[in-house]
Amino acid sequence: MNTKELAVVIMAAGKGTRMKNPDVAKVMYTIADRPMVEYVIETALHLRAHRIVVVVGWQKQSVIDRLAKTFDSVVCVEQAPQLGTGHAVMQAEPALNGFAGDVLVLSGDVPLLTYRTTASLIDVHRSTNAIATVLTAMLDQPTGYGRVLRDSTDHVVGIVEEKDATAEQKQIKEINSGIYVFDRHALFEGLKHITPLNAQKEYYLTDVFQHFWRNNLPVRAVQANEASEIRGINTLEQLEEARGVLEGRLP
């Protein structure tokens, strides 16, 4: 039986420009009268995470105050300035000092993700002794998403963004959800090796995989049962769709 502990890092610093209200942090938009980030935290609690770290940024105080009232086991850390997903996870390292287990990285704007799917992700990660495991989904229309490349032994050997994909790679329907579980030491060691050498001058979390592959460290992938689970909320229309899905799950 694997007895490794679990920590969860939830990225919740985004502005949510397309939500049309700069006074509200994106993760604070509500579904059934609860901020969407709380659904993500509930999943982390269901997984019995030993540490839950929420990375805040835009309208941070509203997020901090709400979570302090609702949860007594959540630590908030600030990402300022906001320099990408890799940079966001870097901010969580001090809060995970002394922790030596696995780190599940979630997004605060993905409230439809279920316990069942995240538990399966962690189980595969541990049973295969992977350094990192990617949650993926199969989409009939994968345009715009990063494609997941596997080899003949089912190891992940590449994550190719749409703009960099060949015509053949664009035919792949398995996409990267942006949700991962990592060995804690490997994650923060890998983050030391990424650089903001891109048009946005940001640190991308996906760049840690290049470090893993260069060092022949095993990366695996697990497909979500339902592609809707990994859907991020970026517009008010998507928020309404998520409300419909969650209401449909209620008994």
End-to-end Cα, the chain, rounded Å: 33
In angstroms, the Cα distances linking 60 to 34, 40, 56, 229 are: 17, 17, 5, 26
Q: Does 34 qualify as catalytic in the annotation?
A: no
Axis crossing angle, helix 236-249 with helix 36-46, rounded to the nearest 10: 40
| Residues with Cβ within 8 Å of residue 115, at least 6 apart in sequence | 43, 46, 47
Catalytic residue among 18, 116, 150, 243: 18
DSSP of 73-87, one letter per residue?
SEEEEE-SS---HHH
Query: Rounded to an integer, what distance in angstroms lies between the CA atom of residue 243 and that of residue 247?
Result: 6
Active site amino acids: 18
